[in-house]
Structure 1
Amino acid sequence: MQHVTIFRDPGRYAGWPANYGIWSWENEIVLGFVVGFPGQSAGLHSRDKSRPFVNVQARSLDGGLTWQIEDFPGHLPGGRGLSADEHVNDEISLAAALATDPPAPLPGGIIFAHPELALMCARTGLQPGARSLLYVSYDRCRTWAGPYGLPMFGQPGVQARTDYIVLGLSSCLLFLTVAKADGREGRVICVRTTNGGKSFHHLADVGGVPAGPDGFSIMPATEQLPGGRLLTALRCRGGDRAAGQDQHWLDLYASEDLGRSWQFYGRPQTFQQNGHNGNPGTLDLLPDGRLLLTYGNRDEPYTIGARLSADLGQSWGEEITLRTGGGNRDIGYPRTAVLPDGTAVTAYYFNDEPGGSGPRYIEATVWRP
């Protein structure tokens, strides 16, 4: 097990790979994330909301052992950061920029089966009325076309992160977080295109909303298993945060009909402490047929964890700790790339100074499950 620093700058705040994505082609890996500035914000994230977050990506050509940082090679409306409005003041938000620099209509003609395809979904913020965008690359993330505006699907808001399954040349599923009736993010839908991205239609809701005023089920991470079953991991929260009675866990849902219907499939991870807002997981199929789940664990002592399943998600082994030494709960949001030889490259954001006083940085753990 080897820890590799991808991006670390004592004067910057880097975070949230799960909001953007990881893409790989044999031993070439590309990871998306954002970089802003540290500050004294109250709550979980100590960032300076008066200064911008900018999108960058990191590329490894040797299976995650070394990385080069690249500017995001696509159009950012108004030069604003994607999927980061909750971390900046309104006047420098992406939502404000879209008023004068709107996304293009969905293009159609997307070749989903292209061998060097990458898709990235992005959003404004988490507020009511949030909008989402789609980017497309055919050259391993060296250039991105877009942004293209995703529909609202009749929802109060769409707060997309990158999660998709290619079904064919012109067919693809997107898994999107959408708002509850009160406008706050809270549940997941599955949408499909059959015409190369010219349009998408709502196939089904994935699960429901956990009980409690702060309940949500968000941030899907989906894998297609041998035989065609779809399995998605959802980040879940229930209870009442203000009363200190919130709970956090990861749920699995399965579809046997390419996303048209979904059934609860298990709860592989339950976090034990409240008040930390949970963390998303990510699913990956290993070459030997086992299934890998990785996640940030914001329970003290603040770690990056993993579990393995030998029966495609029906049961899970004990937690494997990939990274220890977190400074506070401001960690996680992992994405994992699996190499042809079975090596896993799990990337996440982390901090390692007591009380979270140090920088937030991007790291990868390279390991053999």
Structure 2
Amino acid sequence: MSLSRRAFLATPAAMAAAQTQSSTPALSNISLTPESYCGWPTLARRANGELLVAYSGGRETHVCPFGRVELMRSTDDGRSWSWPEVLMDTVIDDRDAGLCVTPSGAILVTTFTSLAYETTMQRAQDWPAERTARWQAVQRRSTQAQRTALLGTWMLRSTDGGMTWSAPYRVPVNSPHGPVAISGNRLLYPGKELWEPGQKARVAESTDDGQTWRMLADIPLRPGDRYEDYHELHGVETSDHRLLVQIRNHSKTNAGETLQCESTDGGKTWSQPRAIGVWGLPSHLLRLRDGRLVMSYGYRRAPFGNQARVSEDHGKTWSQPITISADGVRGDLGYPSTVELSDGSLLTAWYEQQAANPKSVLRQARWRL
């Protein structure tokens, strides 16, 4: 009895096939500053084939006052990477860096600022004297009022291939991987109101290539859920012109599983989020040239690593997991994002804390479906 590919993906044999395939991705570290903790990257591909990866670099740990937004480039499909460029470095912590290349060629980089490290300082016990001195010196660069005024969700924009950048400007929401381009010369930014009362999960829209943004819609809540439980959204437009958003979920129902909702009216209204049977977070969405969708996500339980799934029906159903990496030593890893290269292969980048290095590094895998 013959099976279509879609039917095959639903069979037990699909898992075996995925696991066989998962042993073949070529894994490599791409951090050029292993002395610094690097985290939460986003990978994007320009029309000329150049790859960009934005991330939070210059860090000491997962939470610290030293984070800054950095960018690296590759002109050979990720075989080699440029020395990091610092795009934004405020006096507080600049964290997750998202990337979007718009149809015009503009490059948008997103980030958010945080004062969470101040709580870490207050709770610090038995720190080495030199570490305490470093953190205290950082605080002497600004007043508490100045630091609080810097809290926000930010965007930078370049129209010359990243040679020059705008000053950071505030945008309504944040998500780790930033906005996405959709049809009609629009940009869609599903994200979180991090510093607003209620911390809603919402969708913003730009019709001027990312220069300005307006709020378009709220993401609805499932009965019993709270917005405090919805985090780190990402979206994509399907080839049948629906919009799809996935959500990192921490509600008691399906905790740690990815939720998904859809819009059929250009993002004005959204379906109630639903579980799709995928444990892992957060996810990044990509539409391939053939119309299939790929979701890649961190897998923060043994075997620690990153996984991907494929949809051949515009996100209605998803395949069994494909293992991208499974050699992590702990849960401080993930936030993968994926691009399709000119030869049809896929490149995924993420961050990971490894056994031999307490500083998290950036890694990548080249693989095929």
The aligned counterpart of 2:51 is 29
| Bigger helix fraction | 2
Counterpart pick for 2:262 among 245, 254, 258: 254
Pair 1:268 & 2:276 matched: yes
- Classify the secondary structure of the residue corresponding to 2:114: coil
Instruction: Indicate conservation of the 8 Å contact 1:30/1:141, yes or no.
Output: no
Match of 2:125 in 1: none
Displacement after TM superposition at 1:288 (Å): 2.3
**What does the per-residue CA deviation read over 1:320-357, in whole Å, with 9 as the maximum and x for residues that have no partner?**
11111111000001111112332111100012318xx6
1:173 matched residue in structure 2: 188
Give 1:148's aligned residue: 169
Decide whether the 8 Å contact of 1:113 with 1:168 is kept in 2: no
Match of 1:125 among 95, 114, 137: 114
Gaps of 5+ in 2: 1-24, 117-147
Following superposition, the deviation at residue 227 of structure 1 comes to 2.9
The 5 A counterparts of 1:1-369 are 1-7=25-31, 9-18=33-42, 22-38=44-60, 45=62, 49=64, 52-72=66-86, 74=87, 76-78=89-91, 81-83=93-95, 113-114=103-104, 116-125=105-114, 130-151=151-172, 158-161=173-176, 162-169=178-185, 171-179=186-194, 185=199, 187-194=200-207, 199-208=212-221, 211=224, 215-239=228-252, 247-264=255-272, 266-271=274-279, 279-353=281-355, 358-369=358-369
Q: 1:292 to 1:342 in 2, by over 3 A?
A: same
Distance in 1 (alpha carbons) for counterparts of 2:226 and 2:272: 22
User: TM-score by structure 1 length?
Assistant: 0.73
* Contiguous gaps of at least 5 residues in structure 1: 40-44, 85-110, 152-157, 240-244, 272-277
Q: Give the Cα–Cα distance (whole angstroms) in 1 for the partners of residues 77 and 223 of structure 2.
A: 38
Give distance in 1, aligned partners of 2:155 and 2:111: 6
8 Å contact 1:290–1:310 — kept in the other structure? Answer: yes
Q: Is the 8 A contact 1:209 1:217 kept in 2?
A: no
SS of the residue 1:15 aligns to: strand
For residues 353 and 211 of structure 2, what CA distance do their matches in structure 1 show?
42
CA distance in 2, matches of 1:349, 1:210: 34
Kindly indicate whether the alpha-carbon contact (under 8 Å) linking 2:300 and 2:331 is maintained by their aligned counterparts in 1.
yes
Does the 8 Å CA contact 1:302/1:328 hold for their aligned counterparts? yes
Once residues 180 and 134 of structure 1 are traced to their aligned partners in structure 2, the CA distance between those partners, rounded to angstroms, is 15
Q: Is the 8 A contact 1:217 1:237 kept in 2?
A: yes
Paired residue secondary structure (1:32)? strand
Q: CA deviation at 1:194?
A: 3.6
Cα deviation, 1:162-193, whole Å, max 9, x if unaligned, reads 12324445x4322221249865x5x4211223
Q: Please say if residues 304 and 323 of structure 1, whose CA atoms lie closer than 8 Å, have aligned partners that are also in contact.
A: yes
- Residues 311, 163 of structure 1: alpha-carbon distance in 2 compared, 3 angstrom cutoff: same
Change (3 A) 1:131 1:358: closer
Greater mean alpha carbon deviation, residues 335-344 or residues 321-330: 335-344
Change in Cα spacing, 1:338 to 1:35, as seen in structure 2 (3 Å) is same
- The one-letter amino acid of 1:331's match is L
Amino acid in the other structure paired with 1:119: L
- Cα pair 2:263 2:269 within 8 Å, conserved: yes
Aligned partners of 1:131, 1:55: CA distance in 2, in Å?
Answer: 14
One-letter code aligned to 1:225: T
Q: 1:126 to 1:262 in 2, by over 3 A?
A: farther
Amino acid at match of 2:355: E
Report the RMSD for the aligned CA atoms in angstroms: 3.2
Structure 1, residues 236-258: CA drift from partner, whole Å, max 9, x if none? 1113xxxxx99211111111111
Q: Which residue is 1:103 aligned to?
A: none
Secondary structure, aligned partner of 1:333: strand
2:220 corresponds to which letter in structure 1? G
Q: 1:307 to 1:254 in 2, by over 3 A?
A: same
